[in-house]
Structure 1
Amino acid sequence: MTIDHLRDALHPDIPGCLWVMRFDAQGEAAPGGAADLARLGQPGEGFLWLHMDLADVRARPVIARIGALTETARAALCDPVDHQYLEYSDGLVSGALLDHERTLAGPASRTDYLRFAIGDGFFISARRRPMSSVETTRNALGRGARVDTPFALFELMTDFLIDELVRMTNDVGLAFDRVEDLLIDGRGREARPKLGAARRDAVRLARQVGGLASTLARLETIEEDPEERTDNDLRETAARLVQHTEALAREMLSLQERARLLQDELNALLNLETNDRLYVLTVVTTLLLPATFVTGFFGMNLKNLPFSESEEGTVYATILCVLAAGAVLILMRRWGLTNPREAEEDRPRPGASGPSRPADTNL
């Protein structure tokens, strides 16, 4: 069992702070404290990771007192957000990424925004609910993972986020496989709710992956000083992350196309089932029409009706109804109208004299 040597970092003496980690020049993490927060943003080896809990009302005043943050970075950490974005100005990267919540049972389907600000010598993150990528990153650091720069920490965290999206994408693909098996078996009614749930998950993931890919792609086009080391590190980090997200985005596109094809196949199968039911209803109605005519004829209140004076008139009328329905059934079977699976071109037409004989070529 691996010992979590960063357990002490979970109990900082900073209001609204979930943990503080101090990284040395080799990228090894160690628990930090309030003294490290006072030196945040000052020159020195290594960097600091400060993780804030926005559900705690004391977190925002602490963030407001951090002098290394710009107003844009403070807004990214504290203000409400409804989309994924990244901004790079004054040497600071700030923004928000959509991530899945984490429960005791693992990642959940609910999502929320992970806010962050990255500067020279610090990485500050904030959230309202436990986020899957953050918890996975902290566990990896507790097991001995190393990151030597704040951008490397951001890359590690984003990689875990992408890995979770890949896992969820594979789960959606497996759900489509099960739907496809049901469609092949002809069980369209069972496949319908499963396909709806899988398509809903696929659409949500596609929106998240598309927003993440477009957001990270903006970092590749920053137009700051090309000689600045921080800018180059940022561009290199963005390039690697964009490669991962583009592959995932292509996979999501293929899943959405597969979902549309499955929906079309399901609609076709349901239409066939509906047509079969309508066919049965039509056959039954056609068989009962002659009997209905007979009963209507004998139900007329007129004189000299057949069998009206006979003691067995009811029996005769019943036999006539059955014979009329039987005659219609025989005609329908002769015309091939009682077999819904028979090809239309193979059905004999009324009045046809049977299959044609080949012409005699012996003249």
Structure 2
Amino acid sequence: MREPREGGPPALGPGLIWGIEFTPEGNRTVEDCNSPHDGRLRWLHLNLADHGTRLWVETTPELPAAAREVLLSQDRHQRALVDPVTVACVLHDFERDFDSEDTGRIGALHMALTGNLIVSARHHPVGSADIVHRRLSGSEMAMTPPRALDMMVSAMLENFGRVIARLSGEVQAAEDALVEDRPVPGSHRLLDVRRRLAQLHRMLDGMKSVFRRLEIDDDLPADMLPTVEKLSQRVQGVGGDIISVLNQLRSVRDEINDQSNQRVNQNLYLLSVMTALMLPATLVTGIFGMNTGDLPLVGHHGTVGATVLAAGSALATFLFLRGRGFFR
């Protein structure tokens, strides 16, 4: 049976998107959540928007009550829960559409890991589950709960890395345009980049909190601790990449703002100089424009004289301002 793509039509069973059972003879496709598996490790990826999924999670004896609560919780905040037999968490990933790998929408992936059952579930398709399913399909790798957590979180970080690389490329292109004196992207586009980076930073901050919570929990299974520590370091590393891009973006925006301020100042300076040069000439023309008697330069050549006087006053103003250092 061909396994369904993440987000495609559900397979047989209550909201089952895909399921894999790991056996010594190889991996087998699971078509029914309720089929017996005799203690062999099984990974079920479920659609929480399906009412049958919720009924199965609520009634299956394979999940403890704490794991059920995490899987069915409407709380979308990232969090973790540990008890002696279960590790459960809610992590954020980007939702995807059939025609778009990066929608910019944040989705919640619920996950519960027991000794012989791994359950991941979501309301809307997320990219990490699709990556994991592709890697498991056709692979005969041995699976354990720590490795499952590693695969899922690594897929999330891979998604984040692609988005960060694209945003970093846009920032670098803007920086190159500044250096080469070419047109730079508009402020609205750079603002969109900053918002996406801030969104990623918040998601990774929440993920770091989840793994810190797991690291310090005394009930965390011993075989899970090395994986949690490794993932915590990887999450911090990706968070550092975001900080670097944010700092680079801040420098680019500062440079663009400086150039904009310089252009505004140059325009204001030019306007001020033109105003200063025109004021004496305006005063002269104002005097000669008064409809009063005994005006000077009355005669055939009065207009020429007034023009020369106005031009001379503007020239005198220019020489005065240049002598005072107003012209750069």
Partner residue in 2 for 1:77: 71
Partner residue in 2 for 1:245: 235
Deviation per CA, 1:118-176, whole angstroms, max 9, x where unpaired? 11111111111111000011011113152421221221111111122122222222222
Structure 2: unaligned runs, 5 residues or longer:
none
Instruction: Spell out the pairing of 1:285-324 with structure 2 (5 A cutoff).
Output: 285-307=275-297, 309-324=298-313
Quick one: distance in 1 between partners of 2:81 and 2:10? 31
Quick one: distance in 2 between partners of 1:270 and 1:50? 56
Instruction: Spell out the pairing of 1:120-131 with structure 2 (5 A cutoff).
Output: 120-131=115-126
Cα separation, partners in 2 of 1:301 and 1:86, compared to 1, 3 Å: same
The residue type equivalent to 1:268 in the other structure is: D
Partner residue in 2 for 1:32: 30
Instruction: Spell out the pairing of 1:250-269 with structure 2 (5 A cutoff).
Output: 250-269=240-259
Partner residue in 1 for 2:88: 94
Contact 1:147 1:153 in 2 (8 A): no
Quick one: distance in 2 between partners of 1:5 and 1:145? 16
Return the offset for 1:67.
Answer: 1.8
The residue type equivalent to 2:34 in the other structure is: L
Deviation per CA, 1:78-110, whole angstroms, max 9, x where unpaired? 221232111112411112111012233423322
Partner residue in 1 for 2:198: 203
Structure 1: unaligned runs, 5 residues or longer:
225-229, 340-363
RMSD: 2.6
Partner residue in 1 for 2:316: 327
Cα separation, partners in 2 of 1:334 and 1:143, compared to 1, 3 Å: farther
Contact 2:46 2:120 in 1 (8 A): yes
Quick one: distance in 2 between partners of 1:116 and 1:263? 40
User: With structure 2 as the length reference, what TM-score do the two structures score?
Assistant: 0.89
Instruction: Spell out the pairing of 1:46-57 with structure 2 (5 A cutoff).
Output: 46-57=40-51
**Structure showing greater Rg:** 1
User: With structure 1 as the length reference, what TM-score do the two structures score?
Assistant: 0.81
Quick one: distance in 2 between partners of 1:326 and 1:187? 38
Contact 1:25 1:148 in 2 (8 A): no
Quick one: distance in 1 between partners of 2:182 and 2:264? 13
Contact 2:208 2:232 in 1 (8 A): yes
- 1:16 paired with 2:6, answer no
Quick one: distance in 2 between partners of 1:94 and 1:329? 78
**Number of matched pairs:** 325
- 1:115 paired with 2:107, answer no
Contact 2:62 2:117 in 1 (8 A): no
Question: Larger deviation: 139-148 or 4-13?
Answer: 4-13
SS at match of 2:61: coil
Quick one: distance in 2 between partners of 1:123 and 1:335? 81
Q: 1:138 aligns with which of 128, 133, 147?
A: 133
Contact 1:172 1:198 in 2 (8 A): yes
